[in-house]
Amino acid sequence: MVLLNEVIEGIAPMLSRLIGEDLEFVTSLEPDLNRVLADPNQVEQVLLNLAVNARDAMPNGGRLTIQTANVVLDDDYVAHHGESTAGAYVMLAVTDTGTGMDAETLAHVFEPFFTTKELGTGTGLGLATVYGIVKQSDGSIWVYSEPGKGTTFKVYLPETDAKAVALTVPGATRPLAAVGVETILLAEDEEPLRTLTAKLLERYGYVVIAATSAHEALRIAADNSRRIDLLLTDLIMPELSGAAVAERVSEIVPGVKILFMSGYADDMVVRDGILAPGAAFLEKPFSATDLAAKVRATLDTEV
């Protein structure tokens, strides 16, 4: 059970740094906000992805606003929004004053690999990931935008009256078996996911060295002053594939463990020959628990 206001307040400093000094960052949070059943780490990922999207839509400055409210979606609303059901919800709205989108773009905005960004600057998985997380939490998402007038994403998550104690079991969000002290080289070109993944791993005790590109990962690996125990790399990157990065890093750091991650399903990457059978693989989007468990299992695997 999560109070969205607490998640927003906790991640606000990171979001402020992420969007930069040229953009105004504003929050408008409902004081008596109801709670929702959701993974707080996934809520952070939603916020990061939407904030980066907003930032990229405001190259000449503007304002990013994050708002929360208790709302009731009635039958009339549901009649015009097929993926919703009537009931009490908590709304999370992220609004920018940027370039906006036309109707054609809006029709495809949540499709995987659809992007309006220049080649090499985005994979088109950010909003698809947001959509997947929202649906996984039994919520819905709605977007309104007009060219030149900005964009608003509204996420609706069902409110809950479950007791807060439900998620206060000691160790529930950080199982002892998943913690570690090893050094992880993280190669991920998508900034929101890179930032969140590094943050989650550090919570579990790992030392994380984040690389923004394949070539930067190779440069870091070549630095003999650091001992890299595991390479966690995106499978698809603009410069080199994750498999190529892994091959080169393995030559630089003999014995390094390798864990691949991708929005593709694991059976597809093996079937299409992108990865060899048996390679350690983590499918996006993933929870903090899934990430920590897979990292620990990969590190503990005997070669």
What was the pLDDT predicted at 28? 92
What was the pLDDT predicted at 33? 96
| Assigned token pair, 166 | 């439900």
What was the pLDDT predicted at 224? 58
Q: In the structure, what pLDDT confidence band is assigned to residue 61 with cuts at 50, 70 and 90? A: very high
Burial class (CB in 10 A: 0-12, 13-18, 19+), 81: middle
Look over the chain and give the mean of its residue pLDDT values, rounded to a whole number.
Answer: 82
Please tell me the least confidently modeled range out of 138-147, 160-169, 272-281.
160-169
What was the pLDDT predicted at 226? 67
238 pLDDT above the threshold of 90: no
What was the pLDDT predicted at 237? 82
**Structural domains of the chain ordered from first start:** 4-166 (3.30.565.10), 176-300 (3.40.50.2300)
103-125 pLDDT per residue, tens: 888 887 887 645 555 433 343 45
Task: Answer for the pair 258, 252: CB distance below 8 angstroms, yes or no.
Answer: no
| Rounded-to-integer distance, Cα 9 and Cα 22, Å | 21
What was the pLDDT predicted at 157? 95
| Rounded-to-integer distance, Cα 242 and Cα 144, Å | 36
Burial class (CB in 10 A: 0-12, 13-18, 19+), 66: buried
| Rounded-to-integer distance, Cα 298 and Cα 199, Å | 19
pLDDT top residue among 183 and 172: 183
| Rounded-to-integer distance, Cα 184 and Cα 251, Å | 16
What was the pLDDT predicted at 174? 46
| Rounded-to-integer distance, Cα 240 and Cα 150, Å | 34
Radius of gyration in angstroms for the set of CA atoms belonging to the chain, rounded to a whole number:
20
266 pLDDT above the threshold of 70: no
pLDDT top residue among 66 and 122: 66
231 pLDDT above the threshold of 60: yes
What was the pLDDT predicted at 188? 92
Please tell me the least confidently modeled range out of 73-77, 155-159, 185-189, 288-292.
73-77
DSSP state at residue 33: P
Please tell me the least confidently modeled range out of 63-72, 121-130, 139-148, 213-222.
121-130
What b/e string do you get for 83-98 counting C-beta neighbours within 10 Å, with b at 16 or more? ebeeeebbbbbbbbbb
What was the pLDDT predicted at 103? 84
Handedness of CA 212, 214, 217, 219 (dihedral sign): negative
Q: In the structure, what pLDDT confidence band is assigned to residue 245 with cuts at 50, 70 and 90? A: very high
Query: Nearest Cα to 153, choosing from 174, 171, 175, 134?
Result: 134
pLDDT top residue among 276 and 116: 276
| Assigned token pair, 108 | 């495809």
**Can you tell me the mean pLDDT for 194-207?**
87
| Rounded-to-integer distance, Cα 154 and Cα 220, Å | 39
What was the pLDDT predicted at 168? 35
